[in-house]
Amino acid sequence: MFTAVKQSWALLLGIMLLMVGNGMQGTLLGIRGEIEGIPTFEMSIVMSAYFAGFLFGSRMVPRMIADVGHVRVFAALGSLISAVLVAYAVAPNWVAWTLMRLLIGFSFCGVYITAESWLNENATNANRGQSLAAYMMVQSLGIIGAQALLNTGDPSGYLLFVIPSILVSISFTPILLSVGKVPNFSTIRRMTFKRLWDVSPLGCVGIFLMGGVFSAMFGMVSIWGVQAGLSIPEISTFITATYVGGIAAQYPIGWLSDRMDRRIMIAVMAAVAAVAMLIVFATDPPFVVLLGAAALIGGIANPLYSLLLAYTNDYLDFDDMAAGSAGLLFINGLGSTAGPVITGWLMGVVGPNGFFLFIAVLTGALAIYAGYRMTQRASGPVAESGAFAVVSPTATAFAVEYALDEASDTPSLSPEDDDQTDGADKDAPTP
């Protein structure tokens, strides 16, 4: 990994600074919204707008890059991000914030797609996997660093909005000055949702549910924290624990998933998350226990996302994986857009701990559905399943495609193989 970092350090530094800015604005708005007296449900709409903008950007930005090029798109969207980060403090109104979050979600999607394209272009076949691992790592480090910076100022003032704006502006310098050759860019072809559903109902349902979980965890957590009476240091520590748990658990869970039926892993992990979140919801534990719960849900949710992608790709031909993953990410975006709104409504009904109840319901539903799918389709040979690829929930379809390329050295289980097993879905199509 050190070779990959040395080769792409400027690009990775820029990405980390971008993630610091993104992580700060996501947490800070929830805290500032409470200070401004904005109701929970209205704040949930504000938080949801980011994911709606990101979803829209995933469709529109590739066309923009094809029309005017990487550099112009990156510079234009980056400037919008920097401006919006400052404008939050100027217009503390939930309607204005909703429009700004929509714009900033769209813009962040665009800069991620551009940066991921450059990263792939700079990498070689020998270190592409290491480059992607470094990219995922600096994303997490950026979010963790953002939580520490939240403790440097007063959330009711302007400083905490100015800091991420400055960091985002600075992040463009190493990226734009270090990038040499502009990469060839082609949009990822799409797969119909019907075909994707026929290939893997569990993948579609699971990715949708995990979209709701992620958007609740990273969109509503600061709102929950303020309502639960946590201090800013406690809120930032709680969020940090979710990311640390995610980093620590990805590789051991990935190792296990390559050696057993992935549906069992999905069902067990989701069930553990559901039970843990129900306990937190019912008992209102002390903060040290909340930190353990945060690490647990982060350590389950992040690998589950990658696990569902890997499971679906087990039933796709290699040439169809990129299109299938793009479809799954769009489904994930739909779940992410709905997640904060439902969480906000539930918190209004049952109180702040409705945050944990929402996560428990979604992970419990995933566990039940994974168990049901095991009765509908027999497991294929473990040796024929594709490799597990570590993928961040914030990665776009282009980073996922590169990760799958690296993880696809082993043969995948095709629907033809699956149809020959006992109890297989009779209506699963051949790609």
Distance CA 143, CA 240 (A): 8
pLDDT at 413: 42
Supply the pTM of this predicted model.
0.83
d(CA 210, CA 309): 11
| CA distance linking residue 369 with residue 243, whole number of Å | 26
What is the DSSP code string of 226-244?
A: HHTT--HHHHHHHHHHHHH
Taking residue 86's Cβ as centre, other Cβ atoms within 10 Å add up to: 14
Task: Judge whether 366 and 207 are in contact, CB under 8 Å.
Answer: no
Find the farthest-apart pair of alpha carbons in the chain and give their distance in angstroms, rounded.
64
Q: Are residues 201 and 152 in the same domain?
A: no
* Same-domain check for residues 308 and 343: yes
Indicate whether 408 pLDDT > 60. Answer: no
Measured between alpha carbons, how far is 307 from 387 in angstroms, rounded to an integer? 10
- List helix spans (H) across 375-420: 397-407, 415-419
Using pLDDT thresholds of 50, 70 and 90, give the confidence band for residue 134: confident
């709701």: which residue's tokens? Answer: 212
Mean pLDDT of 103-131: 76
Q: What Cα–Cα distance (Å) separates residue 269 from each residue in 152, 186, 302, 363, 425? A: 36, 36, 11, 9, 24
Mean pLDDT of 397-419: 52
pLDDT in tens, 292-338: 999 999 988 888 888 888 788 777 776 676 677 778 888 888 999 99
Q: Which of 178-182, 220-224, 407-411 has the lowest mean pLDDT?
A: 407-411
* 94 and 136 inside one domain: yes
Is residue 137 located within the same domain as residue 244?
A: no
Q: Mean pLDDT for the chain?
A: 81
Total residues belonging to the chain = 431
Q: Within 10 A of 156 (CB to CB), how many other CB atoms are there? A: 12
134 and 276 assigned to the same domain: no
Q: Hunting for tokens 């589950």 — which residue is that?
A: 304
User: For residue 166, what is the domain's CATH number?
Assistant: 1.20.1250.20
Give yes or no for residue 5 having a pLDDT over 70.
no
According to the model, what pLDDT value does residue 262 have?
83
What is the pLDDT at residue 428?
35
Cα separation, 312 vs 225, whole angstroms? 35
226 in the same domain as 78: no
- Total domains in the chain come to 2
Strands (E) in 339-413, as ranges, are none
Residue type, 66: A
Pure H helices in 91-127: 94-122
Residues 204 and 160 in one domain: no
pLDDT band of 394, cuts 50, 70, 90: low
Q: State the residue for tokens 């945060």.
A: 294
Kindly state whether residues 150 and 221 are assigned to the same domain. Answer: no
d(Cα 107, Cα 102) in Å, to the nearest integer?
9
Separation between Cα atoms, residue 319 and residue 427, nearest integer Å: 21
Q: Are residues 115 and 174 in the same domain?
A: yes
Q: How confident is the model at residue 424 (pLDDT cuts 50, 70, 90)?
A: very low
Residue with the bigger pLDDT between 357 and 415: it is 357
User: Which range of residues forms the domain containing residue 32?
Assistant: 1-187
Same domain for 136 and 208, yes or no, is no
Q: What is the pLDDT of residues 186-214, one digit of tens each?
A: 556 667 788 888 888 998 999 999 999 99
Q: How many Å apart are CA 263 and CA 201, to the nearest integer?
A: 12
**What tokens appear for 391 in the block?**
């993928």
Q: Tell me, rounded to whole angstroms, the distance of Cα 24 from its chain centroid.
A: 16
pLDDT of residue 259: 73
Residue where a domain stops, chosen among 138, 171, 187? 187
Angle, helices 262-283 vs 232-257, to 10°: value is 160
Residues whose CB falls within 8 Å of the CB of residue 89, separated by 6 or more in sequence, listed in order: 32, 157, 158, 161
Contact 188, 65 (CB under 8 A): no
Q: Which of 145, 167, 187 is the last residue of a domain?
A: 187
More confident residue, 178 or 12: 12
Chosen domain end from 187, 221, 253 = 187
Q: Do 351 and 308 share a structural domain?
A: yes
Tokens of 310: 């890997």
Most confident option among 49-63, 104-118, 361-375, 399-413: 361-375
Structure tokens at 74: 């990156």
Amino acid at site 138: V
Same domain, yes or no: 39 and 159: yes
